[in-house]
Amino acid sequence: MTELNNLQFDAQHLWHPYSSVQNPPLLHEVVSAQGVYLTLADGRQIIDGMSSWWSAIHGYGHPRLNAAAKDQLDKMSHVMFGGLTHDPAVSLARRLIDITDDALQYVFLADSGSVSVEVAIKMAIQYWFAQGKADKQKLLSLRSGYHGDTFGAMAVCDPVNGMHSQFAKVLPQHLFAPAPTCRDDADWQDSDIAEMRALIEANHEQLAAVIVEPLVQGAGGMRFYCPQYLSELRALCDQHNVLLIFDEIATGFGRTGHLFAYEAAGVVPDILCLGKALTGGYMTLAATLCQSKVAQGISADGQGVLMHGPTFMGNPLACRVACESIDVLLESDWQANVLSIETQLVDELKELSSHSLVKDVRVKGAIGVVELNQPLDSFMDWLPKFIVEQGVWIRPFRSMIYVMPPYIISAEQLTTLTTAIKAIVNKLSESVKS
């Protein structure tokens, strides 16, 4: 009996994100990665325009991150965090407290971004429970938002246009406000927040928290909105005694041009979720930070312990690499790099704005989005193969072709990505006409 090769075995036995086992997706086997390049099993090298789902901000095989991981392996790869602690976790917490706002003083180290959202939700509900306000268990979020695929996180994702409608009957029913339409503060109109204000005013006695992705709504549609909205939202939450959670899993660590997106608005959340780029894409790790009033408030009734404890919480290997990743970022000229990427994306993608197939072109920091006026579902039989033939790795979704490259990408490599996007749009246009 002939043994199946990797791709054949994968097609018969492995599930991939958002895929069907009856119609498995086209796959490309990666054998190594270095810098911004993925090397495929057939020898081709392609530029990763996705930073491995927005996490590999330093590219692949970074010597300092490699060395940190190897050094930590020789000491210990894991030890339980219950009743024990270790230097990598303490050092990471020190760094996170140092680089975020002074008000954020407590750190919960979780497994993944979705779990950090789950922890944030628990923090908010337990906080009010300890204050004697057990009715405050509802959450308020934005339409077009995405916060993860676990059950608590799914419940605050867009219930209509999101990916989780078939779970509607088992998910908690929360509240949703329209997504902001202001692209920047010059576009600000009070009507943008009118319905959010009305929902908070009408439901504040039941609301534990508002949770939003600041400035950039990621997997819900790659939408950008203005800092003024966050300023207004912070004021509303303060006025009506509602906690504010910022999900910066995608935006944290410089992606928008600010180290954290909340800095653009000059406001601070009560609870902050971080993930993705936290370890530079080396392994899964996330963190939920909160203000002292939340952490201390959870224990206000004398018995409030935060009810969460993942097996791999505070994993020493992940924490050590995260420490090194943060140091590499802060010691680099990351702001200039992100600004350079932003400027080049604007310059090289702007011509697509007038294309008949294109609805919108938008750029923020190291994020470039070309939104088409129709979904891409009907083109997925040939599109993934065509993209790799352009020498790049881009993963379109819905009607969006977007890139979030590593910050180390060169101008020439970025041009390869933008040239590929233009080729994709032109090829799609030919398909539509035919």
Write out pLDDT tens, residues 277-322: 999 999 999 999 999 999 999 988 767 789 899 999 999 999 999 9
Give backbone dihedrals phi and psi of 238, rounded to 5 degrees, phi first.
-65, -45
What does the alpha-carbon distance between residue 314 and residue 92 come to, in Å, rounded to a whole number? 9
The residue extents of the domains of the chain are 6-61+334-433, 65-331
Residue 15 structure tokens: 């599930």
* pLDDT at 128 > cutoff 80: yes
The answer to whether the annotation marks 146 as part of a ligand binding site is yes
State what percent of residues in the chain have pLDDT above 90: 89
Q: Shortest CA distance to 369 belongs to which of 335, 340, 394, 406?
A: 394
What does the alpha-carbon distance between residue 115 and residue 153 come to, in Å, rounded to a whole number? 8
Residues facing residue 38 across a β-bridge: 33, 46
Residues identified as active-site: 18, 146, 247, 276
Residue 16: its pLDDT value, please? 92
The answer to whether the annotation marks 221 as part of a ligand binding site is no
Q: Band of the pLDDT at 161, cuts 50, 70, 90?
A: confident
The answer to whether the annotation marks 133 as part of a ligand binding site is no
What does the alpha-carbon distance between residue 244 and residue 267 come to, in Å, rounded to a whole number? 10
What's the mean per-residue pLDDT of the chain? Answer: 95
Length of the chain: 434
Q: Shortest CA distance to 124 belongs to which of 137, 133, 143?
A: 137
What does the alpha-carbon distance between residue 165 and residue 156 come to, in Å, rounded to a whole number? 12
Q: Which of 160-169, 183-192, 232-241, 397-406 has the lowest mean pLDDT?
A: 160-169
State what percent of residues in the chain have pLDDT above 70: 100
pLDDT tens string 320-346: 999 999 999 999 999 999 999 999 999
Average pLDDT over residues 12-23: 89
Q: Are 218 and 186 in contact (CB under 8 A)?
A: no
Whole-angstrom CA distances from 389 to 43, 47, 300, 327, 432 are: 13, 11, 59, 36, 20
Residue 212 structure tokens: 């939003």
* pLDDT at 163 > cutoff 90: no
Name the strand (E) or helix (H) holding 345.
helix 334-349
Residue 304: its pLDDT value, please? 77
Q: Shortest CA distance to 245 belongs to which of 277, 208, 281?
A: 208
The H-assigned helical ranges of 131-250 are 151-154, 191-203, 227-239
Residue 373 structure tokens: 């006026």
Q: Return the CATH superfamily for domain 6-61+334-433.
A: Aspartate Aminotransferase, domain 1 (3.90.1150.10)
Give the 3-state secondary structure of residue 227. Answer: helix
Q: Which of 1-5, 52-56, 401-405 has the lowest mean pLDDT?
A: 1-5
CATH class of the domain at 65-331: alpha beta
Residue 164: its pLDDT value, please? 80
The answer to whether the annotation marks 39 as part of a ligand binding site is no
pLDDT tens string 211-233: 999 999 999 999 999 999 999 99
pLDDT tens string 248-278: 999 999 999 999 999 999 999 999 999 999 9
Q: Band of the pLDDT at 42, cuts 50, 70, 90?
A: very high
Q: Which of 132-146, 149-163, 287-301, 334-348 has the lowest mean pLDDT?
A: 149-163
The answer to whether the annotation marks 418 as part of a ligand binding site is no
Concatenating the DSSP letter of every residue in 417-429 gives HHHHHHHHHHHHH
The answer to whether the annotation marks 71 as part of a ligand binding site is no
Cβ burial, residue 232 (10 Å; 0-12/13-18/19+): buried
CA-atom Rg of the chain in angstroms: 22
Q: Band of the pLDDT at 159, cuts 50, 70, 90?
A: confident
Average pLDDT over residues 135-162: 93
What does the alpha-carbon distance between residue 296 and residue 369 come to, in Å, rounded to a whole number? 41
Residue 43: its pLDDT value, please? 97
Give the 3-state secondary structure of residue 92. Answer: helix
Q: What residue has token string 């207004």? A: 232
Answering whether pTM is above 0.95, one says yes
* pLDDT at 433 > cutoff 90: no
Domains 6-61+334-433 and 65-331 share a fold: no
* pLDDT at 363 > cutoff 90: yes
What does the alpha-carbon distance between residue 124 and residue 207 come to, in Å, rounded to a whole number? 10
Span between the terminal Cα atoms of the chain, in Å = 44
Residue 300: its pLDDT value, please? 81
Q: Are 207 and 139 in contact (CB under 8 A)?
A: yes
AA letter at 74: D
Q: Band of the pLDDT at 431, cuts 50, 70, 90?
A: confident
Q: Band of the pLDDT at 87, cuts 50, 70, 90?
A: very high
